[in-house]
Amino acid sequence: MSPAANKEVEHLLAGRTRDIQLSPELTRRFRDRSWPQMSKIVRAWMIWVVVLDLSTLAVNAVLLPTETVRLMFAPASILIPAALGSQFAFRKPRPLWVQGAAILLGLFLILMSVALVGVSAGGEFYERHLTIMLFVAVTAIIIFPVPFSWTMSIAAYALVIYLAFQMSNPMIGRGSALAGALFFATGVIATVAARHTANILAYKTFLLVLRDRMRLDELTDTNARLELLARTDPLTGIANRRWMIETLDQVWGGDGEQTQGNAILMCDVDHFKQLNDRLGHAEGDRCLVKIAGIIQSSLRDERDQVARYGGEEFLVLLRNADEKVAAVVAEQIRSRVEAASLPNPLSTTCPYVTVSIGVSVTEEGEHKVSADALQRQADEALYRAKQGGRNRVAIFPTVLAKARCGEGG
């Protein structure tokens, strides 16, 4: 939802329940959410009315004189198409005005049908069917979870139909007709008020669901951010040691061993302490950020991952890589760092920042090598690169020496 809608939800829930009025956006969302339930209720009620009408006609055909049944049949036949038409309109979502027209017109015809059955038959059936008509209207008001304006319309024309026919009833006077209409009006009005209260409570339940969902979303977002922070190095923005350890565990599987060809690169910044001592820690941090970006840009694709593994140490995982591929990636990292010409005045290797890289590879089809063992081999290769003069790439168990700065490297 929009921030304004979120704010409105909190505002409405903070106020009195009876004052709840939904904005257009929340009204639309409420209708979308309540549509399946409303549709089932309306369609079930319409079918119930049809079944009741047919059952009543069948019973009347058995118990009443043929002439009386004949008089009832024509107005009673109005009900069935009206109810089935309204039921059809609610089989799938339609524009609100279509739904409103269908239910209001359908109910009007149903109420008229019930009333006209009694009026046509006359006698004792006259007032009885008008009372039944009000009962049908009241059940619709109680059961239908529709907009309150629809409810008011149903109540209004039910009372109008009752009063109009009662005023023409030859068996009672106008005073009795008005008294009866007022009596039934109080019951209908009370039913409308109850329906209004039910609507407000439905709105409040809807708002509570929205608020719970908002809070759950906020909690999920917060947890996701915390999880990201827990797995990300705050300085360089790349993954941290914890994330890399979990990734290695996933790649190597539950037993910590596998035979798929993978490589690990241990990259260490040469003479990093001297850089911090001479240029300051701020420059050292800037250097680490630059190197992290260079390493990331040197990886092949999303198969490869890099993490800051220590202070100035980076671990690179190359999936499905043989020794040749690993050597190419490692040399690309080394040469790009040197080419960046980041100053390191106290370095005995080069006046610029350089890295030494140890590489360890487990070829596909070889004996099983654990992730821990592969890291130890990469560390040993890194040690050899350092011992060999730094600014070099060493592959376990052999060393690929790269010339020092200024010696063709």
Each residue's pLDDT tens digit, 106-138: 999 999 999 999 999 988 899 999 999 999 999
Query: Do residues 155 and 32 both lie within one domain?
Result: yes
Residues designated catalytic = 312
| Alpha-helical regions (H) of 232-271 | 241-252
Q: What's the pLDDT score for residue 367?
A: 63
406 found inside a domain: no
Q: Write phi, then psi, for 361 (nearest 5 degrees).
A: -130, 140
Query: Do residues 320 and 392 both lie within one domain?
Result: yes
Query: Do residues 188 and 123 both lie within one domain?
Result: yes
Query: Do residues 198 and 251 both lie within one domain?
Result: no
pLDDT, one tens digit per residue, over 13-22 is 999 998 899 8
137 found inside a domain: yes
Higher pLDDT, 260 or 390: 390
294 found inside a domain: yes
Could you tell me the pLDDT band of residue 256, with boundaries at 50, 70 and 90?
Answer: very low
Which residues does 159 contact at the CB level (< 8 Å), separation at least 6?
134, 181, 184, 185, 188
Look at residues 215, 230, 254 and tell me which one is the last residue of a structural domain: 215
Q: What is the mean pLDDT of residues 269-275?
A: 94
Three-state secondary structure call for residue 365? coil
Looking at 101-256, which runs of residues are DSSP E strands?
239-240
Look at residues 157, 183, 215 and tell me which one is the last residue of a structural domain: 215
Could you tell me if 172 and 124 are in contact, meaning their C-beta atoms sit under 8 angstroms apart? no
Query: Do residues 144 and 249 both lie within one domain?
Result: no
229 found inside a domain: no
Residue 171 structural domain: 3-215
Query: Do residues 276 and 187 both lie within one domain?
Result: no
Looking at the structure of the chain, the number of domains it has is 2
- Which DSSP helix (H) or strand (E) runs through 359? strand 355-362
CA distance 337 to 268: 11
Query: Do residues 297 and 377 both lie within one domain?
Result: yes
- For the chain, the average pLDDT equals 90
Query: Do residues 177 and 245 both lie within one domain?
Result: no
| One-letter amino acid of 334 | R
